[in-house]
Amino acid sequence: MKSSPKTLWTLVDELRRAREQGLVPLIEAVEQVYQPEEAVDLMVTSELSADFDPKQRTTSVVGEREFLSVVAVSRSAGARPKILIADDHAILLEALKKLIELSCTVVGTATDGRTLVTLAEKLLPDVIIADINMPNLNGWEACERLVKKLPGIKVIFLTVNEDRESAEEAIRRGASGYVLKKSASIELFKAIQTVMSGRSYITPQISREPLNIFISRAKSHGAHEPLTARQREVLQLLAEGKSMKEAADILSITARTVAFHKYSMMEHLGITRNSELVRYATQAGLVDPTLERDAI
């Protein structure tokens, strides 16, 4: 049974009131009006409706059209999008998986960048939702590697990094979307639908300028990377506190090669102390700045 936008809004209001009064389980209330296959989609919209003032539905930044578009996510290209999620925080990863499963098919999860790359090559998802700060291989590096290996794959970064520079770096590495973890849940679904349609999505909390201008500026800024991809891999592992042997085992190279990369980086960057190299890795976004770690 299909419903007009007005009917949907009315039902959402009724579900919210019922839930507040503890009258009926949400899923049962939905199925009284909607077909079972539509119930899950409506659960998403009803859960998210609390983010919006009913009086502002037609004028708010996320208005009725965007709200209703959440239901369309599971019907993009005639099928539920296949999503792969990566985040090193287990509780958040599980919660995110349950949320996304309401309108998409979650084909796998990863807690570090290297596992993400391996799973993506095996599972071939439509969209990857990943954090930036992850161990072993950060999100930027994983994204850059995957968009080269798997043309057409879409990567959305879901992160706490609110600075414009991080969003620009994500675009330079090949990401299609950038959403903040503090955003309303509906924004993530909007980003999924947008990238599935072949467009890019950058949260307006980062920039409200036209998307094409943001992307153009992002690609023109910071294009000169002082380190090679292999050097960045080595630097991240060492800055995370791994020994040269541990880094060598992860990268399938010798400890001597790791040492060569380390001292080549120090010479190239004009750095003489291990602590300075760790600081550089943090400032470059290769490691989580909130974590304490020993010097390389």
* CATH at 193: 3.40.50.2300
> What CATH number should be reported for the domain holding residue 270?
1.10.10.10
- Establish if 68 belongs to a structural domain: no
Q: In terms of domains, do 14 and 88 share one?
A: no
Strands in 82-86's sheet, in edge-to-edge order, are 105-110, 82-86, 127-130, 154-159, 177-180, 201-202
Residue 176 pLDDT: 96
Residue 116 pLDDT: 97
The structural domain count of the chain equals 3
The pLDDT tens digits along the chain (296 residues) read 444 444 445 555 555 565 566 554 444 444 444 443 444 444 444 444 444 344 433 333 334 444 444 444 544 445 789 999 999 998 889 888 988 887 889 999 999 999 999 999 999 999 999 999 899 999 999 999 999 999 899 999 999 888 888 898 899 999 999 999 988 888 898 899 999 999 999 999 887 778 788 887 777 765 556 788 888 889 999 998 999 999 999 998 898 989 988 988 888 888 888 888 888 888 887 887 765 555 46
Q: In terms of domains, do 202 and 147 share one?
A: yes
Q: In terms of domains, do 91 and 188 share one?
A: yes
Q: In terms of domains, do 102 and 119 share one?
A: yes
Q: In terms of domains, do 248 and 214 share one?
A: no
- Establish if 93 belongs to a structural domain: yes
Q: Which domain holds residue 246?
A: 229-283
**Bridge partners (DSSP) listed for residue 85:** 109, 129
